[in-house]
Structure 1
Amino acid sequence: MSTSAGHDTENGATRAAAIEPALAAWGLTGAPTERLDGGAANEHWRVETDDRPRVLRRYHPRRATESLPYEHDLLRFLADRKWPVPAPIAAEDGKTVVETDEGRWALFPFMRGTPPEGSELLLQRKGSLLALLHEDLGEWESPGQRPTFGRVTDLDAAVAPEGFRSFEDFLAWYADEDPERAQVLAETRQRNVADLDAHGYGDQPDTAIYYECLGANVLFVEDTVTALLDFDMAHEDARVADIARSLVIDCGSDNQKVRSWLAGYAAHASPRLT
């Protein structure tokens, strides 16, 4: 796991209050740490050890504890398949998630590399990577849907962390806050459901998906892929959901970029795209 270093190192008070109890669980009391930038939700610190750097993660408070084993088991499976992923490191008690008064923590290897500059060739490689990853993910003995996650159509799961029992409950609350936007959101939801039904999304089988094979999560050293980062959003859905997310984030509405990415994916897709 790799993120860019922040400008500030931990001061003594913050370190003692938050980081030290977590580090102690891995026998790393007193190890030098540096706060890392990056990460949309979780917090990360680089930890220097005798053999190689590690990354300490504090999970966002809204990430459900019961969802973490799915991510960790998936990372171990991929690491066993020789994928360059940061498999979690067990603490001294054998667990990969440690709870302290300051949060829930996990420790990972520091993955070297940098995200390269964008190009059509890079997009092809990202597409190829995701296709090959999907093939291996199809052989993982998945426990089923990751707790608190759902398919792209399951908006009940999406709003549950905010305290709503369903998407309809959320819309009812939002209608009191901003009636016009709530109405637009409801209509957009209806159009999306109709479009997905028309294109057969509901008939597509579930599989484990990465959902983050994009942006700066793919690292290189020269021409070699050295890391796939951030499996925090991995869950069960149709593989087309994974493809669509990568296209939206990495390609946008640029047709040439879309063609480049899809060419890479199609060259290695199993089953083939139809």
Structure 2
Amino acid sequence: MSLAPALRAEIVEALSRWELAGEAERLGGGAANEHWRIAVEGEERPWVLRRYHPRHDATDIAYEHRVLAYLEARDWPVAPPIADARGRTLAETDAGLWALFRWRGGEPAPPESPLYLQRKGALLALLHSDLAEAPDFGQRPGFGRADDLDAFVRADGHESVEALLDWYAGRDEARATALADALTRNREALATGGFAELPDQLIYYECLGGNVRFREDTVTALFDFDLTHRDARVADIARSLAVDCGVSAKRAGAWLAGYANLAQPRLNEDEAALIAPLITAAELWNTVLPLSIGSRWGNESQIRAAETSIDRRLALSEEAERVLAAVALQAARS
């Protein structure tokens, strides 16, 4: 599909910051940021241009770029941002904030394959070991731990999740109440399990779906560190399970077996007991964040995504707690 002239002009201006010119093709898959594949005449390997969502600022993005630079130095197959002639990895134009990356190939794992689920679990265990040794970048601006959703909504002008729910109740009181009740149950479960006492470290939070690419048995790419921040490693595990395994004990068991086999330090029972409520916490985050973005930026598709979660996915997530709790404990004991 051809690009609108105004958008094409914005892309041309952004690429000029890297003294680059080429044909742009929009890439799908991003929930908030926008991406284009850039083909340059005479170059076999394309580039990827990203425009960040307006809720991101330069400080927040610089954090992501530091993590990518650290992982590249550790020989992880990431796509670090490309610096311009002045050493800057972020370009600002009137149309937004932009970064440029090199294309990395590979294919997503077969979604139903227990073998590849096990490999993805093992991969995250190894990644956690290296991320635990990273310099202390502090917490990423605009982010918090799984039990601190207030930090995520402040970027959209809300003082707290409760303030966001007050706004949403004026639009849909029944759904706002259902979401508030689910948040209360989850906060109580995390507090009872001692989540606040677990140490935090850098986490990926996107080791899922098509973000991990393979060529046969080789991992060729880890995409999208847009959500990297500090949290307990089990929060990262839970988000991967929520997306890649759903309520399937078989799939979760394969994934967790891969993680537990290579985790350093070993996954302990206290951590494992929190995986189930953290799966619901991940779905709550996946509900609150689009609701917050939609309220701030007038994005009805984001609000509809949050409502789908309230109506269907949150109930499935709480069902997954019951199904997967025993699977997680078994992985820690094996």
TM class, shorter-chain normalised? over 0.9
Of residues 25, 29, 33, the one that matches 1:42 is: 33
5 Å-filtered alignment, 1:1-274, equals 8-10=1-3, 12-16=5-9, 18-28=10-20, 30-49=21-40, 50-51=42-43, 52-118=45-111, 119-274=113-268
How far 1:44 moved relative to its partner? 0.9
In structure 2, runs of 5+ residues without a counterpart are: 269-334
Instruction: Summarize deviations over 1:128-162 as a string: whole Å, max 9, x none.
Output: 00000000000110311000011111121222233
In the alignment, the residues of structure 2 paired with residue 184 and residue 45 of structure 1 have an alpha-carbon distance, to the nearest angstrom, of 38
Please provide the CA RMSD for this pair: 1.4
Checking the alignment, whether the CA contact within 8 Å between 1:43 and 1:59 is kept in structure 2 is yes
Of structures 1 and 2, the one scoring higher in RCO (CA 8 A, sep 6+) is 1
| Equivalent position amino acid for 1:133 in 2 | L
In the alignment, the residues of structure 1 paired with residue 243 and residue 52 of structure 2 have an alpha-carbon distance, to the nearest angstrom, of 23
How far 1:32 moved relative to its partner? 2.3
How far 1:165 moved relative to its partner? 1.1
| Equivalent position amino acid for 2:50 in 1 | R
How far 1:93 moved relative to its partner? 2.1
How far 1:12 moved relative to its partner? 4.9
In structure 1, runs of 5+ residues without a counterpart are: 1-7
In the alignment, the residues of structure 2 paired with residue 33 and residue 174 of structure 1 have an alpha-carbon distance, to the nearest angstrom, of 38
Secondary structure of the equivalent of 1:112? Answer: coil
Secondary structure of the equivalent of 2:170? Answer: helix
Partner of 2:300: none
TM-score of the two chains, using structure 1 as the length reference: 0.92
Secondary structure of the equivalent of 1:106? Answer: strand
Instruction: Summarize deviations over 1:221-268 as a string: whole Å, max 9, x none.
Output: 122110010100111100000000001100011001111000000011
Checking the alignment, whether the CA contact within 8 Å between 1:64 and 1:148 is kept in structure 2 is no
Instruction: Summarize deviations over 1:35-91 as a string: whole Å, max 9, x none.
Output: 222211111111223543110101111223320011000001101111000011001
In the alignment, the residues of structure 2 paired with residue 189 and residue 137 of structure 1 have an alpha-carbon distance, to the nearest angstrom, of 29
| Equivalent position amino acid for 1:78 in 2 | L
Relative to structure 1, the CA distance from residue 181 to residue 31 in structure 2 (aligned partners, 3 Å threshold; closer, same or farther) is closer
Instruction: Summarize deviations over 1:191-241 as a string: whole Å, max 9, x none.
Output: 111100121211111100000000011111122110010100111100000
| Equivalent position amino acid for 2:39 in 1 | E
How far 1:114 moved relative to its partner? 1.2
TM-score of the two chains, using structure 2 as the length reference: 0.76
Partner of 2:283: none
In the alignment, the residues of structure 1 paired with residue 69 and residue 153 of structure 2 have an alpha-carbon distance, to the nearest angstrom, of 29
User: Identity of aligned pairs, percent?
Assistant: 55
Instruction: Summarize deviations over 1:162-190 as a string: whole Å, max 9, x none.
Output: 32111222222233333333222222212
In the alignment, the residues of structure 2 paired with residue 190 and residue 95 of structure 1 have an alpha-carbon distance, to the nearest angstrom, of 43
Secondary structure of the equivalent of 1:177? Answer: coil
In the alignment, the residues of structure 1 paired with residue 247 and residue 67 of structure 2 have an alpha-carbon distance, to the nearest angstrom, of 32
